[in-house]
Amino acid sequence: MFLNLRFERLLTLFTINILLLTIMTNHAIAPALASPSPTSNSSIDSTLSLSPFTSPTQKEKHNLTSTFEITDEIKALIDEHVDKNKTNAAMVIGLVDPNGTQFYGHGKMSNSSNAAVDRNTVFAIGSITKVFTTTLLADMVNKGVVNLEDPIEKYLPSDVTVPQYNGHKITIEDLATHTSGLPEFPDNYCPDVDSTKTGMVDSVQYRKDLFDCTKNYTFDQLYQGLSNTTIQREPGTKVEYSTFGTGLLGHILALKSNMSSFDELLKHRILDVLGMNGTSFILSDSQKSRLAVGHINGTELPSLNMSNPIAPGGALYSTASDMLKFLSANIGLIKTKLDGAMQESHLIRYSTDFSLPNNLQTPDKNDNTGVYIGLGWFVTTNFGHEVVWHNGATVGGYNAYMAFNPTTERGIVILCSADIADINITTISFSQNDELSSLIWGLLNQ
C-alpha cells in the first residue's frame, strides 16, 4: 500500500500501518431493489452480469455453507464505521462471485456535495497500485520483454550504481517480491518532511507539505537515491516491504516498453484490456466530479498526484466497479489475454515470516496459517484455502482493501475516504477482532 512519501513509514507512526488482507462483502443480489431517497447518503447496487466487455467463464457453482451477500448487518457496521467518529468520510464495498457483482456505499463525496457515494465514485487506492505494476511485469515476462532473473542493472543507464551485497545483485524478481533489500523509500525522498522530526503526522499542514515535496521528485533523484543506498543483506533472502523497489520496477518496465510513460504502458496493457475506464494516475475532469474527497480528523485534504518515479508503488485512483473487473479477471470469472500473467502473479514465491505490508508483523497463531508473497500479491493460506490480497493507504486521507479466494471464487473490495487514523480497513486479513472484519473474513473463507 502506498503512503505517499515516507507514507508507509509515516503511517507506521500513526496508529496502524497500511496494507493487509481481506476485504468486505456487499449486498445480496436481488432482482429488484428500491433506490435510496435523494437525501440518503447510502447507495445500493446489485448487478447480475459480471462484465460489459467480455463474457464470464462458465464454471460449476460451489456448494458453499454461507450466502455471499452484503447483509443488513454488514451495511449497519459500514454505516457505523463512517458515522460514529464524524469523519465526514465515505465507504464503498463491492463483492463479486460467479453470480455477479454487488455494491453498497455509505457517506457523501465531499462537504460541498450531498451526493451519496456509489460503485462509480473515485477513491485513491494507495499501495494496491503495486499489484497492477507486478501484473504488468508478469505480462511482459510472458512476452519475453524482461526476465525475472535478470539483474536490474541490465535495464538501467550505465552511469547508475546499483547496490550489491557481497557480489549478489538485485534482480527484477527481487523488486516484485519485496526481497531486494531496498528501504521503504530512498533517503533523498522528501528528507526535509520527516514525521520523526516534526511529530506532526496527523497535521493537515504536514500532509500538504508532504504533497508539495513528493510531486517534485525526479528520475535523476531516483537514480541518485539508488546509487547512494547500501543494502544490508543478500537480495532474495528476506521480505521487507519497499515502495522504492516497486517504483523502480515500474520505471524499468516503462523503459523497456518504449512508451512515453508508465501511465501510458499501464493503460494500454491492463486498464484498456479490462475496461477500467475510471482508473488512472491523473484525474480527468469527469473523475474529479466523482471523487470522494480524502479526510483526516474530519478535515478534507487536497488531491495528491505523486511524482512519476514513485507512482507505480501507490498513486492510482479507481472505483469499486473497476476494482471488481480487476478481481473478476484475477479469479478467472472472465477471460482475457492477461489470464496467464495474473495466475503467475499469484504463485507463492517466498514466505514472509509473518511480515506484512509496511513491514508490520502479525503473530503466528499456530493454526497452520502462513503469510506468503507472490509477484506483488500477499497470500494467506493454511494449504487448504488461500486468500490472495493487498491493501493500501495514502497520506491524502484514503485507505483500501482488496482480496479474493480462488477456491470459492469470491472477491471483495473496500474503498474509504478517511485516513487510517480515523477508519482503518487495511487490517482485515490479520486482525479479525472487530465484528466487521470477522464477517468479511468469514465470507471469503466459507
What is the per-residue DSSP string for 257-286? HT-S-HHHHHIIIIIHHHT-TT-BSS--HH
Domain boundaries, the chain: 7-33+40-92+99-445
The torsion angle over the Cα atoms of residues 397, 403, 281 and 56, rounded to 10 degrees, is -140
> Could you tell me which residues come within 8 angstroms of residue 159 by beta carbon, excluding any fewer than 6 positions away?
none
Q: Are 159 and 352 in contact (CB under 8 A)?
A: no
Residue the block writes with cell 460514529 = 84
Q: Tell me: pLDDT of 350 over 90.
A: yes
The Cα–Cα gap between 182 and 114 comes to 44
Q: What is the pLDDT of residues 304-319, one digit of tens each?
A: 778 899 999 999 999 9
Residue the block writes with cell 454487488 = 102
Q: What is the pLDDT of residues 83-133, one digit of tens each?
A: 986 778 999 999 999 999 999 999 999 999 889 999 999 999 999 999 999
pTM higher than 0.75:
yes
Residue 367 has a pLDDT of 61
Tell me which residue of 173, 133, 412, 390 sits closest to 270, measured CA to CA.
Answer: 133
Burial class (CB in 10 A: 0-12, 13-18, 19+), 446: middle
How would residue 275 be classed by pLDDT, with cut points 50, 70 and 90? very high
Q: Tell me: pLDDT of 12 over 60.
A: no
Residue the block writes with cell 505517499 = 4
Q: Tell me: pLDDT of 323 over 80.
A: yes
Residue the block writes with cell 511480515 = 355
C-alpha distances (whole Å) from 91 to each of 77, 118, 198 are 11, 9, 31
User: Any idea which of 124-128, 238-242, 359-363 has the lowest mean pLDDT?
Assistant: 359-363
Cell numbers for 135, please give them: 501484473
Q: What is the mean pLDDT of residues 274-284?
A: 96
Decide: helix, strand or coil at residue 370: strand
C-alpha distances (whole Å) from 421 to each of 11, 126, 438, 439 are 8, 15, 20, 22
Q: In this predicted model, which residue has the larger pLDDT, 228 or 303?
A: 228
Could you give the percent of the chain with pLDDT greater than 90? 63
Tell me which residue of 145, 177, 27 sits closest to 97, measured CA to CA.
Answer: 27
Decide: helix, strand or coil at residue 204: helix
Q: In this predicted model, which residue has the larger pLDDT, 43 or 142?
A: 142
- Host H or E run for residue 7: helix 7-14
Q: Tell me: pLDDT of 292 over 50.
A: yes
Residue 42 has a pLDDT of 81
How would residue 359 be classed by pLDDT, with cut points 50, 70 and 90? low
Cell numbers for 181, please give them: 533489500
How would residue 34 be classed by pLDDT, with cut points 50, 70 and 90? very low
Q: What is the mean pLDDT of residues 42-60?
A: 45
Pairing state of beta strands 370-373 and 168-169? Answer: unpaired
Q: What is the pLDDT of residues 139-154, one digit of tens each?
A: 999 999 999 999 999 9
C-alpha distances (whole Å) from 375 to each of 125, 139, 155, 202, 338 are 18, 11, 19, 32, 14
Instruction: Tell me the average pLDDT of the chain.
Output: 84
Fold exhibited by the domain 7-33+40-92+99-445: Beta-lactamase (3.40.710)
Q: What is the mean pLDDT of residues 374-387?
A: 90
User: Any idea which of 3-12, 61-70, 99-108, 276-285 has the lowest mean pLDDT?
Assistant: 3-12
Q: Tell me: pLDDT of 3 over 80.
A: no
Q: What is the pLDDT of residues 174-211, one digit of tens each?
A: 999 999 999 999 999 988 776 555 445 667 888 888 88
Decide: helix, strand or coil at residue 242: coil
Q: What is the mean pLDDT of residues 403-408?
A: 96
Q: Tell me: pLDDT of 259 over 80.
A: yes
Residue 19 has a pLDDT of 33
> Which stretches of 90-128 are DSSP H helices?
none
